[in-house]
Amino acid sequence: MIYFDNAATSWPKPPEVKEAMVRFMDEVGANPGRSGHRLSIEAARILYEAREALSKLFNVKDPSRIVFTLNATESINLALKGLLRTGDHVLTSSMEHNSVMRPLRELEKRGVTLHIVPCSPQGELDPEEVKREIRSQTKMIVLNHASNVTGTLLPVPEIGKIARDHGILFFVDAAQTAGAYPIDMESDGIDLLAFTGHKSLYGPQGTGGLAIGEKVKIQDLTPLKQGGTGSRSEFEEQPDFLPDRYESGTPNAVGIAGLLAGVSFVMKKGVAFVRQYETQLIGKLTEGLQEVPGILLYGPQNPAEKMATLSFNLKNLAPSEVASRLEDESGILCRPGLHCAPSVHKTIGTFPEGTVRFSLGCFNTLEEIHKVLETIDRIARRKN
């Protein structure tokens, strides 16, 4: 089996991720912050160590500004619905996932004005186009760091500078880049960063978070939910300090133990090393696919301009048929369709049929690339 669906969730996970979760269940298992006994304290320590590791990874000075959520989607909803109000204007791109688009469309119904800046057919965003759309009411620019369909990297540092120059909040969806591409919230000008644990951070599903920069005033960021936090239990009002203001209810402590192990794995290997290795893989894959008869490739062809993700179609074959043949003939697992990103497919000209998506991770190999290329070539030549 060859797993080329890492943009959906990474697999396999490093062995230490499972080991950390089993250890938590076998030796800890308690509710962090809900008691003073040693197991509760140990659970709380694991959560704090995970915050510390993530704050180092993203260059966040205060670990308490790492708020845990179930995934990037929950983080995006927290930031957008917690900060945007009637009359606010927000800018985004045409390369966004529905995790951004759907909350923004909901906020439109509540009086928020949304402007979608069009990208090129390769998914590229011109920072000058963003700058031209800024108004006096513009409160936020929200962008994904890289497309989940084409892998296209958006110009985050350039947009971050524009946002700072205009006093606008800059919110980045790093679901596709956290752990696989260097992120420095300070130098990149990022005020809010949504990340998921189960992709290139190699943690389990059901983990993620929102990194909140110091420019964001927490009194302006309304929580999505209220409830028990284990702190200030004598009051019936929600705590007003980080991270408790946004972490009501028992956390996914066993998942966060796995996330800590995943982040530690990434930091030990080095994000720069992961980036270099995955760039090599996607470069070889792209180069080989360009030789396949009847293939249509989407997005940038230069591996330096994208993550280890690409989309393609074969002439006269539906994406679902190609994906089915890949699995049946060679055990190659990938994802066909619209990838929860209809705006992206409209931008690159593949709506409503979609594409076949290959997305690689640091456990893929050059040998797998060669086998995939042989299979694709065989399928294409048989059809054509």
Q: Please report where in the chains the tokens 């030990």 appear, as a residue.
A: 268
The C-alpha atoms of residue 49 and residue 349 are separated, in whole angstroms, by 44
Report residue 280 as tokens.
């090599």
> What's the Cα-to-Cα distance from 30 to each of 44, 66, 88, 110, 157, rounded to whole Å?
9, 21, 43, 41, 41
Where in the chain are the domains? Answer: 2-10+271-383, 15-269
Q: Mean pLDDT of successive 10-residue segments in the chain (384 residues)?
A: 98 98 98 93 98 98 98 98 98 98 98 98 98 98 98 98 98 98 98 98 98 97 96 92 96 98 98 98 98 97 98 97 97 98 98 98 98 97 70
Rg of the chain taking only CA atoms, in angstroms: 21
Architecture of domain 2-10+271-383: Alpha-Beta Complex (3.90)
> What's the pLDDT score for residue 383?
57
Q: What are phi and psi of 33, to 5 degrees?
A: 80, 0
Architecture of domain 15-269: 3-Layer(aba) Sandwich (3.40)
Angle in degrees, 0-180, between the axes of helices 253-269 and 271-289, rounded to the nearest 10? 80
Q: What are phi and psi of 313, to 5 degrees?
A: -135, 155
> What's the pLDDT score for residue 382?
83
> What's the pLDDT score for residue 206?
98
Helix (H, G, I), strand (E, B), or coil: what is residue 152? strand
Pairing label, strands 138-144, 169-173: parallel
